[in-house]
Amino acid sequence: MSNEDPFRAYIDRFNGDAGQALLDFARRAGIAVAWVDRQVVERHFRELTDAEWELLLPKLDKYDEHVSNFDGVEDEFLDRILSDAGLS
């Protein structure tokens, strides 16, 4: 049995691109996801040091709650995809 970390092995299947791994997982699981990663933060703010990034990491899991609490975001998205699929 391999000592390789299954999480790392899965991401490595996507050449180390965790975002692509997440999208693949979401597609297979039948869920929609949105995420913020270091690239998104740096595009919005500025390049971060590794120490600065480490300060942000524990706060990233609040993104889902933040997006879910915006009135209408999910409703607008659902309305659009239902319409695009010809179901509305």
Same domain, 51 and 24: no
Q: SS3 sequence, 33-73?
A: CCCCCHHHHHHHCCCCCHHHHHHHHHHHHHHHHHHHCCCCH
In a shared domain, residues 18 and 43? no
DSSP-derived letter for residue 70 is S
Do both 26 and 42 map to the same domain? no
If asked whether residues 23 and 46 sit together in one domain, one would say no
What's the pLDDT tens digit per position in 2-58? 568 999 999 999 999 999 999 999 999 999 998 999 999 999 999 999 999 999 999
Do residue 54 and residue 88 come from a single domain? Answer: yes
Using the predicted structure, report yes or no on whether residue 69 has a pLDDT greater than 80: yes
Same domain, 43 and 73: yes
| Location of structure tokens 């996507």 | 14
Containing domain of residue 7, as a range?
1-33
Would you state the pLDDT for residue 2?
A: 59
Same domain for 88 and 69, yes or no, is yes
Q: How many domains in the chain? A: 2
